[in-house]
Structure formats: structure tokens, C-alpha cells
Amino acid sequence: MAFALNGYRQALSARDGASYRRPVDNKTEIREFLSTRRARVTPEQVGLPTFGGNRRVKGLRREEVALLAGVSVDYYVRLERGNLGGVSEGVLEAISRALQLDDVERMHLFDLSRTANASIGTRRRAVTTTIRSSVQRMLDSFSGPAWVRNDRMDILGANVMARALYAPVFADPARRPNTARFTFLDAGAPDFYVDWSDVTHDSVAILRAAAGRNPYDKALSDLIGELSTRSELFRQAWASHDVGMHRSGVKRMRHPEVGDLELTYEAMELVMDPGLTVLTYSAEPASPSEEKLRLLAVWAATEALAEPSV
């Protein structure tokens, strides 16, 4: 019985993963994004009366969102069913305010609308998989760790310090390093990331936002399918429809060579290369992490000298 149940679960996971390998369905994304955002907002949060009694829905009703956004109930129902065809920016702004979307969620809603209204010929957008030589020189000019990733969280370029800092992510030389794949599928990730739970959530949110911008990216669909098939945690987080992006913050790592590091990161988009993001890391002056970054630089230099010349 247990064997049969495990077989059923594996078949179900494989089926779910295969479904993600198809282009992300825009109407489904719109429907589930709006319904999950609506479920988060209570009438009390937006100043609406509840009139007591048991409510059959979690969060706002559709008619309450329509009232707050200043549109008809029928029109909002059409939007939440996944039809954003012809919707104006003014209506999208009103829906964003009614659902109390943050900046990233608002951008995601606009991305979904752009995809819904794009012609077939303009829906596919090439995803960059290489960086320009001048970008690599820029990375090499940083004294601290610096690297570039695309929307799929592939690492496309890095300086010596970034390779040292993210040594476990670069461990497989036969495969392009990908921080999302490492986070969910590498057994060492929970030890490497001190705040691993937060990192898993952020990784899914970044991929979800990327899928909204470019749902026809086959490699992204393949990655989502792989993670969905092999990670129950990823499947659960993906269903939340949370979106996010790297901007700035603190990353805490437990490096296998130098120990615990607490670093501040800054993310900067490359204007000339849409979809590419530069991330740089630094430590507070005179902190233990700054000293460990110096030790990491020594270790990186030693490792580089130990490599055979090509």
C-alpha cells in the first residue's frame, strides 16, 4: 500500500512538473494572482463595514473590490477571471490601490496586463545568457564580491571574490550555476544560507515575477518544472503567487572556509542589458565579517594559484 501511494505521489509530482514546463498561462496567472491578493485584505483594513455574521470568503468579496476600485462588479469579475484585454492603466492603478498591492506586486499586475495585450509576435522576449566583456571588467574592478544574474537566477558572470563567496553554488563545473536550483535542490543549502527559509521564499518570488514578465521563456518554464517536480517546498511556495525582486538587504551565510558572514547587498539593473542584475556585497567596517572577507580573499587567491594553468 505504501509503495503504491509513493508511486502515485511521484506520478503526481511528475505531472505537475510537466505542466509547469509549458508556457505560463496568462489567464491563470491573472486569476490566481488577483484572487490570492484579494484573500489577504480584510474589510477592516480598507474601512468597509462587515455588518457582523459569518463571511463565506477569506478577505474581500469581489463586489467590495469593485466598489473600492470604482468599477462595476461585472467588470471586476471579468478581470479576475483572467481577462485583462483592453484594460486601462487607470483601472490597473485603481485595482492596485483596492488590493493594497506593494510596488513589486503592482509592477507584476502591469506585466500580466502587457502580456495579455501583446500580439503573438511580440510575446517572446529573448533572455540574455552571456555578459559583455566590459561588464566582466566592471565586476573584476570591485574589491568585494560582485556577480551578474538573469531573470532565471543563472549566474552569468562573477569576479574572483563572488566565486569564492558562492563556492558551493559553483561546485559543479559542468552546469551553469543557478542560485534557485542550489537553494532548493542542494542538500548543503540550508547550512550555507543562515536564513534559508527567507531565501527560499525570495527565490520563488523572483522567479514568479520573471514568469509574469516573460511567460514564454522556455528555459524558465523548464527550471520551474524541475523545481516543482523535485521540491515539495518549491511547489507550496509557488502556489502562494508572491512576487519580489532583489534591491538591497542583508545576506547571512555560513561559508565552509571562513565561517559566518553578514553582508549587505545592493542590486543594480544593467540599463543596456534588460533582465540582467548586478549584485555587490560588502561588510560593515571593522566588523568580524569584514575580517572574514579579507580571509576569503586570501583563500580565493590561494585556490587560484593552486589551479593548473591552461
- Burial-class residue 78 by CB neighbours within 10 Å (0-12, 13-18, 19+): middle
Asked if 145 and 291 sit in the same domain, the reply is yes
C-alpha cell of residue 101: 498591492
Can you list the residues of the chain whose pLDDT is less than 50?
1-19, 308-310
Determine the pLDDT at residue 10: 44
Percent of the chain exceeding pLDDT 90 equals 70
- pLDDT, residue 196, reads 97
Q: Are residues 218 and 288 in the same domain?
A: yes
SS3 of residue 48 by DSSP = coil
AA identity, residue 204? V
Could you say which of 122, 144, 162 is where a domain stops?
122
Considering the domain boundaries, does residue 188 fall inside one? Answer: yes
6 with 118, same domain: the answer is yes
Task: Tell the burial category of 10 from Cβ atoms under 10 Å away from its Cβ (0-12, 13-18, 19+).
Answer: exposed
- Mark whether 172 and 47 lie in a shared domain: no
Please give the pLDDT value at position 48.
Answer: 84
Q: Of 122, 157, 177, which residue is a domain's last?
A: 122
Q: Report d(CA 198, CA 193) in Å as an integer.
A: 9
84: domain CATH number? 1.10.260.40
Tell me, yes or no, whether 128 lies in a domain. Answer: no
What nine digits make up the cell of 150? 538573469
Q: Are 171 and 211 in a shared domain? A: yes
* 198-236 pLDDT, tens digit each: 999 999 999 999 999 888 888 999 999 999 999 999 999
Does residue 298 share a domain with residue 151? yes
Does residue 127 lie in a domain region? no
Q: Which three cell numbers stand for residue 166?
A: 558562492
Strand partners, 147: 158, 279
Cell of 136: 566582466
Strands, DSSP E only, in 197-258?
A: 248-255
Same domain, 188 and 300: yes
pLDDT for the residue 304 = 65
Do 231 and 105 share a domain, yes or no? Answer: no
pLDDT of 181: 97
For residues 33 and 154, state if they share a domain: no
CATH value at residue 148: 3.30.450.180
Helix (H/G/I), strand (E/B), else coil: 18:
helix
> What is the Cα–Cα distance from 29 to 116, expressed in whole angstroms?
10
If we measure between CA atoms, which residue out of 298, 299, 287 comes closest to residue 260?
287
Q: What is the pLDDT of residue 7?
A: 44
**Cell for 24?**
505560463
- pLDDT for residue 293: 96
Which of 122, 145, 168 is the last residue in one of the domains?
Answer: 122
Please write the tens of the pLDDT for every residue from 270-289.
Answer: 999 988 999 999 999 999 99
Residues 285 and 109: their CA atoms lie apart, in Å, by 40
Q: Calculate the dihedral angle through the C-alpha atoms of 28, 30, 33, 34, rounding to the nearest 10 degrees.
A: -120
Q: Do 99 and 167 sit in the same domain of this protein?
A: no
On whether the CB atoms of residues 73 and 63 are closer than 8 A, the answer is: yes
Q: Which set of grid coordinates corresponds to residue 16?
A: 505537475
pLDDT for 245: 86
Residues 6 or more apart whose Cβ sits within 8 Å of residue 18: 225, 229
Model pLDDT for residues 172-196, shown as the tens digit of each residue: 888 899 999 999 999 999 999 999 9
User: Which pLDDT value is given to residue 1?
Assistant: 42
Is position 225 within any domain? Answer: yes
Does residue 190 share a domain with residue 60? Answer: no
- Residue 213 sits in which domain range? 133-306
Instruction: Examine residue 208 and state whether it is found in any structural domain, yes or no.
Output: yes
147 & 285 share domain: yes
pLDDT at residue 6 in the model: 46
Q: What's the total number of domains in the chain?
A: 2
